[in-house]
Amino acid sequence: MAKAKTAYVCTDCGSEYNKWQGQCVDCSAWNTLSEIRLTSATQRGERLVAKSGSGYAGSFSEVQTLDAIDLSSLPRQSTGLAEFDRVLGGGLVAGSAILIGGNPGAGKSTVLLQVMCELAKQQSALYITGEESLQQVAMRANRLGLPADKLQLVSETNIETIIAIAQKIKPRVMVVDSIQVMHTADLQSAPGGVSQVRECAAYLTRYAKQSNTVVFLVGHVTKDGSLAGPKVLEHMIDCSILLEGSSDSRFRTLRGQKNRFGAVNELGVFAMTEQGLREVKNPSAIFLSRADEDAPGSIVVVLWEGTRPLLVEIQALVDDTQLNNPRRVAVGLDQNRLSMLLAILHRHGGLAVGGSDVFVNAVGGVKVLETAVDLALLLAVVSSFRDRCLPRDLVVFGEVGLSGEIRPVPSGQERIQEAAKHGFKKAIVPKANMPKQKIPGMEVTGVSKLEDALALL
């Protein structure tokens, strides 16, 4: 019997070595090399055929020209949640691998259980749990009042056994909860390591493509909120979405970070209830729950999330500092960009807040990623610093450059129209985003410099 070939893989970065050594050359980490057994593709295919009784490796793919591919054979399928479909780009695509991550307790397993119970009414659906027992999953479904007579469950963590079960049942949709607890017999490292996560995800992605099965992979996140595991994990899958939400808020946001079938940074909003996650039809109404009395430092900005506008309230507080180094705190916004905007305000607006603490917040727990919030953020800071309230029916958006110019943002006219639908009467926008036709009930003012916007206030 031939001796099995082995290699050593770094569990931090995934680099491979022929022999063991104390330190990884690529990432400089110590004692992170683990031994793996190398098997050829032929041996791996023979083992899977023996387990499942069918050919997993398959034959060579047929070569076709681009115009000969039939696009109608890949219709979208609804998940039953309109907000979920929006983030996915219109629904599920057959043969796609979808990675969903989020903080512990955010509701990943809950929303997937809701979706799977709904899809199981029409087609074969398989839920594979590696972190919970079957009784725990059944208790959750019973608590949420979900139909439990169609969804198939199995508790397993070995990836070869999972593939064999899937090839036998042939589900059209499959959930693997979670990828961090799965392991393959080819590797001797512990589940959750870089090599285990990479190989298990590769197995499942390959199975999804060859069998036209939609595969959901549940992923853990690190302390900074990013998906745990190797970065190659996000390259292998087709769609990566992140479920965000703080423990003190009943609202959850589902944001698309990568999508081969739709728009990136698409946002879906859900409310956590006793019956699970319920979609929010009008997210702007949540983020615009303003106080009854006007207060300095409050302003509304129109963001563009994926394919739709979203109105969010931005708050700022400028206060005298008791420290040698004034604090700059940004919640839901980029703190480095806040420091840059304050420098622009000093240089081109003539307003120095260097000796004061500056706190900014995006109301509702939403994370603002685009630069269209720049002008609104600066006007909120000026309002708080001068202790003067801004008009309640005013909406602002625009990117601020280092030379004090106000740059245009995409979909400017759609943003203004969305603000008009919510009852706003005034708007300060970049001059290049001025609408060609007058919008009824909306007074729009275009500015090209920061000092022009300050002069209007």
The span from the CA of 176 to the CA of 114, in Å, is 15
Q: Which of 285, 312, 309 is nearest to 298 (CA)?
A: 312
pLDDT reported for residue 46: 45
User: Does 222 score more than 90 pLDDT?
Assistant: no
What pLDDT, on the 0 to 100 scale, is given for residue 84? 93
**Contact between 89 and 261 (Cβ < 8 Å):** yes
Q: How much helix, strand and coil, in percent to the nearest 5, is found in the chain?
A: 30, 30, 40
Look at 205 and 44; give whichever has higher pLDDT.
205
Identify the band that residue 288 occupies on the pLDDT scale cut at 50, 70 and 90: confident
Backbone angles phi, psi at 52, to 5 degrees: -100, -20
**What does the alpha-carbon distance between residue 269 and residue 83 come to, in Å, rounded to a whole number?**
7
Structure tokens at 405: 């110019």
pLDDT band at 432 (very low <50, low <70, confident <90, very high): very high
pLDDT beyond 70 at 199: yes
Question: What is the arithmetic mean of pLDDT over 389-414?
Answer: 94
- CA–CA distance, 353 with 426 (Å, rounded to integer): 27
pLDDT, mean of residues 246-270: 85
Residue 390's closest CA among 399, 378, 400?
Answer: 378
Weakest-pLDDT range from 23-27, 44-48, 424-428: 44-48
Q: Quick one: pLDDT at residue 251?
A: 85
Q: How far is CA 327 from the centre of its chain?
A: 29
Q: Distance (Å, rounded) from C-alpha 144 to C-alpha 149?
A: 14
Question: What integer is the mean pLDDT of 411-415?
Answer: 92
Q: Residue 406: CB partners within 8 Å, gap ≥ 6?
A: 375, 398, 399, 400, 430, 431, 447, 448, 449, 450, 452, 453
- How many degrees, rounded to 5, is the angle at CA 166 between CA 165 and CA 170? 125
DSSP state of 56: S
For the cut 60, the answer to whether the pLDDT of residue 39 exceeds it is no
Report the pLDDT value the prediction gives residue 167, as an integer from 0 to 100: 94
Using 50, 70 and 90 to split pLDDT, how confident is the model at 42?
A: very low
CB 377 within 8 A of CB 338: yes
Q: Answer yes or no: are the C-beta atoms of 401 and 352 closer than 8 Å.
A: no
Residues forming a β-bridge with 5: 38
Amino acid letter for position 251: F
CA distance 435 to 443: 11
| pLDDT attached to residue 97 | 96
| Separation of alpha carbons 277 and 309, rounded Å | 22
Question: Which pLDDT does position 213 carry in this prediction?
Answer: 95
Q: How far is CA 395 from CA 5, 166, 311, 375, 385, in A?
A: 65, 52, 9, 11, 19
Residue 66: partners with Cβ closer than 8 Å, 6 or more residues away: none
- Which one is predicted more confidently, 42 or 75? 75
What order do you get walking across the sheet with 97-102 strand by strand?
152-155, 125-129, 173-177, 214-219, 97-102, 239-244, 251-259, 267-273, 276-279
Burial call 102-118: b when 16+ CB within 10 Å, e when fewer: bbeebbbbbbbbbbbbb
Two tokens, residue 131: 């972190």
| Sheet order of strands, 5-10 included | 16-17, 5-10, 33-38
The pLDDT of residue 457 is: 80
The whole-number average pLDDT for the span 52-65 is 60
pLDDT > 70: percent of the chain: 92
- The residue written with tokens 């979808």 in the block is 98
Q: Is the pLDDT of residue 111 over 60?
A: yes
Q: How many CA atoms lie within 13 A of 67 on its CB side?
A: 0
Mean predicted confidence (pLDDT) in 131-135? 92
Find the mean pLDDT for residues 265-278. 88
Quick check: 244 pLDDT over 60? yes
- Under the banding of pLDDT at 50, 70 and 90, the label for residue 217 is very high
Strands 33-38 and 5-10: antiparallel
CB atoms within 10 A of CB 28: 10
By CB atoms closer than 10 A (0-12, 13-18, 19+), residue 440 is exposed
The chain-wide mean pLDDT, for the chain, equals 87
Distance CA 218, CA 405 (A): 44
> Which residues are paired to 237 by β-bridges?
none
Confidence of residue 136 (pLDDT cuts 50, 70, 90): very high
Cα angle 104-179-279, degrees, rounded to a multiple of 5: 50
Q: Is the pLDDT of residue 259 over 50?
A: yes
